[in-house]
């Protein structure tokens, strides 16, 4: 069996930056065991599998070690592949069905936007333990449905965090987000997911479902630009829409080929 495969750098307009994802469009489904093996072989933070035989298209995401319920950058990468390589060029909107429910993706200007459910958070009063995880104590700490969100005062702190991945892997959440106001953008972040085999994720779309509502309230506006300050880095164009968030980005296709199974 041969399957097409693409590798796309998401949330960037140039290769070798942003967050790389593998995308496998197919007419049918594969076993979970096989999808997990392919994701491990790809050794990227996420591999997206799209079943084009279903309507809406079924999408699933796998890290090298496990399946995840929601992944922003791999959905952005999937949309890029479908828009440019699979679907009719006149189509400007795609609907997916996922373990996180219905997801909509659309083109606007020169960006692709993800329409994702927003995540709410509750403040955690005992925040001192974060200093052992990141080297700095945050001003505020929140817990969303998946991640902790540690809020700091400056972009400089975010750049100089000293993550202890062993300790972060032991917290009771998917991962830990560190965020602060930006110098040239509205807010910045870094995201750590060692328990999923990803010590630091280059750009994390799903983490912004938690950050966008928070920063929208703090900054007093619904449209914002965010930057993830990983080594590869990425820019996200964000909009808060009550129960939903829009996360826009650019993409660059790095590779296309076939998998031989």
Domain boundaries, the chain: 2-116+249-260, 122-242
Looking at every residue in the chain, the average pLDDT score rounds to 97
Sign of the CA dihedral running 83, 84, 85, 88: positive
Query: DSSP for 33-52?
Result: HHHHHHHHHHTSS-EEEEET
User: What whole-number distance in Å separates Cα of residue 193 and Cα of residue 191?
Assistant: 7
pTM over 0.85: yes
Residue positions annotated with a catalytic role: 46
Each residue's pLDDT tens digit, 24-45: 999 999 999 999 999 999 999 9
What pLDDT score was predicted for residue 242? 86
End-to-end alpha-carbon separation of the chain, Å? 5
Percent share of the chain, pLDDT over 70: 100
Each residue's pLDDT tens digit, 104-163: 999 998 999 999 999 999 999 999 999 999 999 999 999 999 999 999 999 999 999 999
Annotation: CATH topology of 2-116+249-260: Diaminopimelate Epimerase; Chain A, domain 1 (3.10.310)
Tokens representing 171 are: 């917290």
What pLDDT score was predicted for residue 30? 97
| Count of CB atoms situated within 10 Å of the CB of 58 | 16
Omega before 29 cis (within 30°)?
A: no
Range 122-242: architecture per CATH: Roll (3.10)
Q: Which residues pair with 23 in a beta bridge?
A: 6, 48
pLDDT of 222 higher than 90: yes
Q: Give the three-class secondary structure for 75.
A: helix
CA dihedral 157, 14, 79, 242 (to 10 degrees): 30
Each residue's pLDDT tens digit, 68-113: 999 999 999 999 999 999 999 899 999 999 999 999 999 998 999 9
Same fold, 2-116+249-260 and 122-242: yes
What pLDDT score was predicted for residue 81? 98
What pLDDT score was predicted for residue 16? 97
Q: Do 60 and 35 contact (CB within 8 A), yes or no? A: yes
What pLDDT score was predicted for residue 27? 95
Each residue's pLDDT tens digit, 176-187: 999 999 999 999
Mean pLDDT score, 243-253: 97
């Amino acid at each position: 069996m041969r399957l097409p495969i693409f590798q796309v750098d998401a949330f960037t307009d140039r290769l070798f930056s942003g967050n790389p994802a593998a995308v496998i469009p197919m007419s049918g489904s594969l076993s979970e065991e096989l999808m997990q093996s392919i994701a491990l072989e790809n050794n990227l933070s996420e591999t997206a599998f799209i079943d084009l035989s279903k309507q809406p298209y079924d999408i699933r995401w796998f890290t090298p070690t496990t399946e995840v319920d929601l992944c922003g950058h791999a959905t952005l990468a999937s949309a890029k592949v479908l828009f440019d390589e699979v679907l009719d060029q006149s189509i400007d909107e795609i609907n997916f069905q996922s373990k996180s429910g219905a997801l909509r993706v659309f083109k606007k200007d020169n960006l692709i936007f993800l329409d994702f459910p927003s995540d709410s958070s509750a403040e955690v009063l005992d925040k001192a333990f974060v200093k052992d995880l990141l080297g700095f104590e945050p001003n505020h700490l929140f817990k969303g449905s998946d991640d902790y969100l540690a809020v700091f005062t400056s972009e400089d702190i975010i750049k100089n965090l000293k993550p202890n991945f062993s300790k972060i892997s032991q917290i009771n959440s998917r991962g830990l987000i560190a965020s602060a106001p930006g110098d040239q953008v509205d807010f910045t972040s870094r995201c750590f997911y060692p328990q999923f085999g990803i010590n630091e994720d280059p750009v994390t779309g799903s983490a912004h479902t938690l950050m966008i509502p928070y920063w929208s309230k703090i900054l007093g506006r619904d449209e914002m630009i965010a930057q993830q300050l990983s080594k590869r880095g990425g820019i996200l164009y964000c909009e808060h829409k009550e129960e939903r968030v829009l996360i826009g980005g650019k993409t660059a296709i790095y590779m296309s080929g076939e998998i031989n199974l």
